[in-house]
Chain A
């Protein structure tokens, strides 16, 4: 792969700082070519790939060896999407059948993960039997696993045998005093151990497992749950430590806590972080680590593109009725994968081509500043402030009607380009007004979720939400329908700059 601009950013590249131009370059900027090649078609590891490639989780691992305060294993609600929740537990044989059926039906499928509903490594026989069969029957599917880390060290050897080159460890802390507020107990050496002692053992095992995996060249992503008042500040230290030990990506996710989930945090009234708090922490960690911003915290039986679950199409009875020609499906998939990979490479090359036209044309001042201060850009204040914009997107384009959007992607636009910084749900986890019944409409909730954004880009928008958004200080914009997200975001930013809207701070109300 020839991407010289990423490897050696040059200020002469027309104002496009390679380290932060576009989401992909930003997220993957710190990765070696070898790692980038490994993750470029993995929807969970590559922000770009998740628009094109799909994944699935098979729920073969019901048992768990620890308790987390954000988890309750009793409940399965079909309307809910959160880790640890499944509708149908599978045997390894059923899981293999389901994987082959999904891979034949959804050619974008590239990755099979085992993530629960318990801990995959607390169910080693079921987990490894599934991997064994799939490595033989579906050799083109990447296999990955997500674990709490307690049993990780003893299974590293076996993991490396199954061609599993991606492992995710959930690490919420490196300090047992913090851990004691997150983990009430673990099962260890035939005993249930509580409190600080339990957390200390868990932390030691996680760190040891991380070191063993990276020593073997297995890619490790670290997941952390951001729990306000418990580990928020602490996660900055976690990020530094896991990077030093060789993790290639850090995914800080917001705590999900509702009383109806029956979790400790939900029942005890622990609040979830606000979107701006999550973003601030991710920004703070980013100096040290590649941060992942597009995680949808999916269920342990999720199927399809991130954020578009198709699990209902692949229940056990439906799979039984399917006829699958896996050889043919594999050929279709190989073709599609090659096509998308070529598209992504072209897109990447274009984003980093010297003298990127959109920046040079519209930004004479910024370009001049860069030419005059090639080494010390901080010497001059950047022209035009940063603006957050929400995008109703599909497939990398501004392509969704405002009222139909289930989520919005949030981009930070600045002289340096458009940077993906997160996503916001347009609906709550439950079905809506009638079941949640707190008098707040879906529109009110959406506006609240987008409160720090100044613009919302969508393909179309109705009269009523237009007025409500404007009243809330968020400018709706339907003029860039079907344009690639980054181009649309930068075009709007340039318009704002030209109109003199970026010299002043955002409307006072937005700061509140």
Chain B
């Protein structure tokens, strides 16, 4: 059982110092989680710490590929509103 950081990570460093297992490390092009060390914070914290501070929706997945912070959950922007704004900008 381990979490995974994917390419939408913006390299903000917030997660790395919080990890109780030192499983998160700086890498190019973005931070990564050592799957052998990650425990999803079980036994240490109620919530996975990287998931609890990450500012980017969808940047951390669980083993099943589920987004731990799904679209809209952090920004409060409804996904359909986001899509409409992006389409409007692209059409300019």
List residues of A whose CB falls within 8 A of some B CB. Answer: 62-65, 67, 69, 72-74, 89, 118, 122-123, 125, 184-185, 187, 190-192, 259-260, 264, 266-268, 437
Provide the B59-92 mask, 1 if CB < 8 A to any CB of A, else 0.
0000000000000001111000110010011001
A181, closest chain B residue (CB): B76
Q: How far is the CB of A434 from chain B (nearest CB, A)?
A: 11
Q: Do A192 and B47 form a contact, CB below 8 Å, given A118-B12, A122-B14, A437-B92?
A: yes
A-contact bits for B21-63, CB 8 A (1 contact / 0 none): 0000000000000000000000001110100110110000000
Contact present for A65 and B14 (CB under 8 Å): yes
15 A-B pairs whose Cβ atoms sit less than 8 Å apart in the complex: A67-B74, A67-B75, A73-B12, A74-B10, A123-B13, A190-B47, A190-B49, A191-B46, A191-B47, A192-B47, A192-B52, A259-B89, A264-B76, A267-B81, A267-B85
In the complex, are the beta carbons of B14 and A64 less than 8 A apart? yes
Known A-B contacts A192-B52, A259-B88; A62 and B13 likewise in contact (beta carbons under 8 Å): yes
Q: Which residues of B contact A65 (CB under 8 A)?
A: 14, 53
The contact of A62 among B12, B18, B46, by CB within 8 Å, is: B12
Query: Are A184 and B56 touching (Cβ within 8 A)?
Result: no
Which residue of chain A is the closest to B53 with respect to CB atoms?
A187
Q: A64-B55, A187-B52, A187-B53 provided; 11 other pairs, C-beta below 8 A?
A: A62-B14, A67-B75, A73-B55, A89-B11, A118-B13, A184-B76, A190-B45, A190-B47, A192-B52, A267-B77, A267-B82
Q: Which residues of B are in contact with A by a Cβ distance under 8 Å?
A: 10-14, 17-18, 45-47, 49, 52-53, 55-56, 74-77, 81-82, 85, 88-89, 92
Chain B positions within 8 Å of A191 at CB level: 46-47, 52
Q: What's the Cα separation between A191 and B52 when bound, in Å?
A: 6
Within the complex, what minimum Cβ distance (angstroms) separates A39 from chain B?
32
Q: Which residue of B lies closest to A193 (CB)?
A: B52
Determine the distance from Cα of A184 to Cα of B72 in the docked complex, in whole angstroms: 11
CA distance A437 to B75 in the complex (A): 28
Q: For the complex, what is the distance from the CA of A19 to the CA of B22, rounded to whole Å?
A: 58
A123 to B17, CA, bound (A): 10
Tell me the complex Cα distance, A95–B17, Å: 21
Known: A73-B56, A184-B75, A191-B52. A63 touches B13 (CB 8 A): yes
Evaluate contact between B81 and A73: CB separation under 8 angstroms.
Answer: no
